[in-house]
Amino acid sequence: MYNEAERTAKNRVNAGEHVIYISVPYYNNSDGSLGGIRVIAIGNQGYFSDICFDNDIDMEAGVPGSWCGV
């Protein structure tokens, strides 16, 4: 199931833009428990997306440009 950020990135790639993804885990506190992942997408024609996914069953909980706990 695609969310809006994935759909937009796919459309940009289909239009000829090259997009790279960087995914970084983020942690809740200094105790080391995983909070989720931050996914950053950067395109060579200006596309940019920064979205976080909480370490939760509901993967639609991503919030574009959210703080990510970092």
Domain ranges of the chain: 4-64
Radius of gyration for the alpha carbons in the chain, expressed in angstroms and rounded: 13
Residue-wise pLDDT for 26-48, tens only, equals 888 777 788 888 899 999 999 99
Mean of pLDDT over the chain? 80
User: Does the reported pTM lie above 0.85?
Assistant: no
**How far is the C-alpha of 21 from the C-alpha of 40, rounded, in Å?**
6
What type of residue sits at position 7?
Answer: R
pLDDT surpassing 50 at residue 1:
no
**E strands, 10-66, where?**
19-27, 34-43, 48-54, 63-64
